[in-house]
Amino acid sequence: MPDYEKEKELAARGSLRYIQQGMTVGLGSGSTAAHFVRLLGEKVRNGFKIEGIPTSIRTSVLAREHGIPLTDFSQKNRVDVTVDGADEVDTALNLIKGGGGALLREKIVATATDFLIIVADSRKPVDTLGAFPLPVEVIPFGWELVAEQIKGLGAAVKLRMTATSHPFLTTHTNHILDCRFEEIPDPERLSESLRRITGVVEHGLFVGLTKLVVIGRGDGTEILTLEGGS
């Protein structure tokens, strides 16, 4: 069986080559991105100068623990490079993200980024998105109505709950609906359909935002690009 934790670290390490001195770097969320933050922290402690913009509170805490200086959008208008994880990556490099619930901040940072790099283990590339339930962030009021409309798009919808059987709350105190479509052959079309539903704050489809994915596979890495390079 593949060592997925090793693959995550290999992918994260492979992304470091794209980080240069003086950059503003988006710091992604999730277990693979956490490897990147720790590895970047090692470089910072050895004199490497960058500033980070974290995509979640957990990432912010981790970055500070590893000595990475942080900034935000009150100081910066753009991000040079962001390194983040994904729950699924299709052949056109469209993504499902948000399994950890940080999709809103992740997308804000991603859309402000000149070069978004996705790092992942070998389980994440798929031919067609959809096996992983699509997270949709919604306001608490009327979430049941939003869920019914998403069901009308062809999904089985569940309100995300905590281990203590309470509704999961995002950083911005919204709910998450986990929407299982099985297959999403047209992510752009579904993205637009979800945006038209009142009460949807954001969704976990990241369409056309990245041109490069670093996959840890076995003892090495594989680079996926829109041109099909590897």
Strands (DSSP E) along 16-87, which ranges? 24-27, 51-54, 79-84
pTM for the model stands at 0.95
CA 193/CA 154 separation, integer angstroms: 12
Q: What pLDDT sits at residue 2?
A: 85
Q: Would you state the structure tokens that stand for residue 100, as one six-digit string?
A: 């950890």
CA dist 179 → 38, 66, 133, 211 (Å): 32, 35, 5, 26
On the question of pLDDT at 230 being above 60, the answer is no
Q: Span 193-203, mean pLDDT?
A: 98
pLDDT average, residue stretch 96-113: 97
Kindly provide the residue ranges of all beta strands, DSSP E only, lying in 74-152, ordered along the sequence: 79-84, 88-89, 95-96, 113-121, 134-138
What pLDDT, on a 0 to 100 scale, did the predictor assign at position 228? Answer: 52
Q: What is the pLDDT of residues 211-227, one digit of tens each?
A: 999 999 999 999 999 86
Q: Which residues are catalytic, by number?
A: 106
Mean pLDDT of the 89-115 span? 97
Which element (helix H / strand E) includes 104? Answer: helix 103-111
User: For 27-86, how does the pLDDT look when each residue is reduced to its tens digit (9 = 90+)?
Assistant: 999 999 999 999 999 999 999 999 999 999 999 999 999 999 999 999 999 999 999 999
Instruction: For residue 195, name the pLDDT band (cuts at 50, 70, 90).
Output: very high
pLDDT given for residue 1 in this prediction: 76
pLDDT of 177-192, one tens digit each? Answer: 999 999 999 999 999 9
Distance of CA 108 to the CA centre of its chain: 11
| Rounded (5°) CA angle 87-77-201 | 45
The mean pLDDT value for 97-107 works out to: 97
Report the distance separating Cα 119 and Cα 122, nearest Å: 10
Which whole number is the average pLDDT over 105-114? 98
Inform me whether the pLDDT recorded for 153 exceeds 90: yes
Domains for the chain: give ranges and CATH numbers.
4-122+207-223 (3.40.50.1360), 134-199 (3.30.70.260)
Q: Per-residue pLDDT tens for 118-139?
A: 999 999 999 999 999 999 999 9
